[in-house]
Amino acid sequence: MEVSIAYSAKLLKEANNIVLTAHVHPDGDALGSLLALNAYLSAQGKQVRMLLDDEIPRTFKFLSDWEKVKKPDSSESQADLLVVLDSSDLERIGKVRDAVKAPILNLDHHISNLKFADYWYIDSQAAATGEIIVKLFKEVDAIITPSMATALFTAIATDCGFFRFANTSAETLIFASELVAAGAKPHIISEHLDTKPRAVIEVLPKVLETLEIVDCGQSGQIATLTLRQEILANLRDETEGFINYPRNIEGVEIAIMFKEADNNIRVSLRSRSADVSQIALAFGGGGHARAAGCTVTEPLNIAKRLIIEAAKKQLAKGFKIE
Ligand code: AMP
Ligand code: MN
Ligand code: MN
C-alpha cells in the first residue's frame, strides 16, 4: 500500500522493535540514510537493529555508528517493522529478506521500484533516499545531531554527484544547506570520500586501457570499461568513480562498466540523456534514468555483447529525458 511521509512516521512511532536495512554493495545514500534513521529511532528509545548483507566499504567508515551495522545470521527473528531503504526490489537486501519476519516499509527514490513492500513511500524526484529521511525528520520534528547531519549530507551529496547531476533540485540544495547548519561539514565529508589507497590510483592506467568506444552514428557513442578479476583483486571493490571517465568523454551518450565476479558480471550504466534504467530493468536490475545497474549471470564476453546490444537499441529509440 502506498503511504505518505506522515503515515510512514506513524508506522515508525507505533513500532518498538525495528530492523533497518538497505541494499547490498551499499553506497553513501544507503548507509547515510540507514545510520541517520537509526540514530533518530534509538534516541526515541526504540529497540533498533541495523542489518546489512554486505561489508561496509572503507570509504564510509567515517560515519558514526557504522560498526553497529551487523550482517544477518541464519536464524530468523521477529520485529514489528522492517524498514528497507534505497532499494527498489527485495533481492537488493540479500539475506535480510529471510532473516527478519516483519511487515516491510520501503522508503526509496528509484524510478524502477517494484512496489514489493507492505507499505511504500517512493519519490523518484528525490535525489536520494536521504532527502526522504530529511522530510521524515521534518515531519516528526527530529533533533538532527551533527553526526546525523553528516550521514544525511553524505547520503544526498553522493547520490547527486555533489550537486552536479540532473537530480539536483532546489529542494536538494535547501536540505543540504539545512544539514550544514545542523553540523555537516562538506569539506571534511569530501576529504573522506575522495581519499583512496595508493593502489587504487596506481591501477588507473590499467583500468583506462580497457576503454572501448562503440560508435552509434547520430545517436552518439557508447563507452565501456571492463574490470577483469585480476585488476579488481588490487582494488578491494574501490571502483566508485571509474565510470566517470567514459561518461565524461565528449560524444559519449552511454557509459558502461563491467565488473567480473566469480559467477557473474556486475554492470553499471550511466547516461547523459538516454534512459538506462530500462536497460538495467530488462536484466533484472534497476536504478534511475541516468544511473542504473544490474548483474548478468553470463561469461564476460556474452554479458558485454548482450548489454551493449541493449544499449544500442535504447539509443536508437532516440527517446531523451530532459
Ligand atoms: P551503481 O552503478 O552500482 O552505482 O548503481 C547505479 C544505480 O543503479 C543505483 O541507484 C543503484 O541502486 C542501482 N542499481 C545498481 N545495481 C542494481 C541492481 N542489481 N538492481 C537494482 N538496482 C541496481
Ligand atoms: Mn543506493
Ligand atoms: Mn539512492
Query: Is the distance from CB of 293 to CB of 267 less than 8 angstroms?
Result: yes
Which has more confidence, 138 or 320?
Answer: 138
Q: Which domain holds residue 288?
A: 199-316
Is 9 a domain residue? yes
pLDDT at 317 (0 to 100): 87
If asked whether residues 180 and 259 sit together in one domain, one would say no
What's the structural domain count of the chain?
A: 2
- Residue 292 is part of a domain; what is its CATH number? 3.10.310.30
The tens digit of pLDDT for each residue in 134-185 reads 999 999 999 999 999 999 999 999 999 999 999 999 999 999 999 999 999 9
Give the closest residue to 164 by CA, choosing from 227, 244, 220. Answer: 244
Atom of ligand 1 nearest to the CA of 110: 10
Atom of ligand 1 nearest to the CA of 268: 2
Is 322 a domain residue? no
pLDDT at 75 (0 to 100): 85
Rg (CA), the chain: 19
| Residue 234 one-letter amino acid | N
Is 165 a domain residue? yes
Nearest CA to ligand 1 atom 10: 287
Quote the CA–CA distance of 267 and 288 in Å, as a whole number.
Answer: 14
The tens digit of pLDDT for each residue in 41-51 reads 999 999 999 99
Q: How far is the CA of 94 from the centre of ligand 2 (A)?
A: 14
pLDDT at 318 > cutoff 80: no
Report the chain's mean pLDDT, rounded to a whole number: 96
pLDDT at 165 (0 to 100): 94
Is 128 a domain residue? yes
Query: Is the distance from CB of 60 to CB of 18 less than 8 angstroms?
Result: no
If asked whether residues 61 and 167 sit together in one domain, one would say yes
Question: What pTM was computed for the model?
Answer: 0.96
Q: Which of 136, 167, 194 is the last residue of a domain?
A: 194
Q: What confidence category does residue 304 fall into, taking pLDDT thresholds of 50, 70 and 90?
A: very high
pLDDT at 322 > cutoff 80: no
* 94 in contact with ligand 1, CB cutoff 6 A: no
If asked whether residues 146 and 18 sit together in one domain, one would say yes
Is 290 a domain residue? yes
pLDDT at 34 > cutoff 90: yes
